[in-house]
Amino acid sequence: MKKVILKIMVLAISSICLISCSSSDEEPTNKLELFGVWKYQQKLVDGVDKLDDCQRKSTSNIKSDGTFESTFYLETNGECKVDDNINGNWERIGDNRFKVVGKDVTIVLINENKYELLINNQPNYKEVWVK
């Protein structure tokens, strides 16, 4: 009888430990940060990726001081070249949401290695950037 009671107690304690540990291991989304060097992965228009290999070389360096520097590539006459450099500012507007200052653009941080850039008045357009 003692062995049965001991087994039940061990099982109960193990269950409690498993339940209490599983939720605390997850990182809350409000601790995610946007800054880092990001690579352009997809440009989705109506769910179809419109990005070519040259455009995928584009990067954005998002800094912790609220600024960013982006370099965009474009293939012209068969040659992949820098098309544009854009500098600007960003700010947090929610736990995992940010905006580009002065633009109608929202950035949604999906996880520490992926964000989606949305142009607010174009619901069928989305960019995906990864670290």
Domain ranges of the chain: 29-130
Reading the block at residue 26, the tokens are 């997850």
Of the chain, the end-to-end C-alpha distance in Å amounts to: 58
Compute CA 88 distance to the chain's CA centroid, rounded to the nearest angstrom.
19
Fold for 29-130, please state it. Answer: Lipocalin (2.40.128)
Q: What is the pLDDT of residue 66?
A: 96
pTM of whole model > 0.85?
no
Q: Which residues pair with 2 in a beta bridge?
A: none
Spell out the per-residue pLDDT of the chain, length 131, in tens. Answer: 444 443 444 444 443 444 444 444 444 445 689 999 999 999 999 999 999 999 999 999 999 999 999 999 999 999 999 999 999 999 999 989 999 999 999 999 999 999 999 999 999 999 999 99
Burial state string for 88-126 with b = 16 or more CB within 10 A and e = fewer than 16: bebeeeeebebbbeeeebbbebeeeeebebbeeeeeeeb
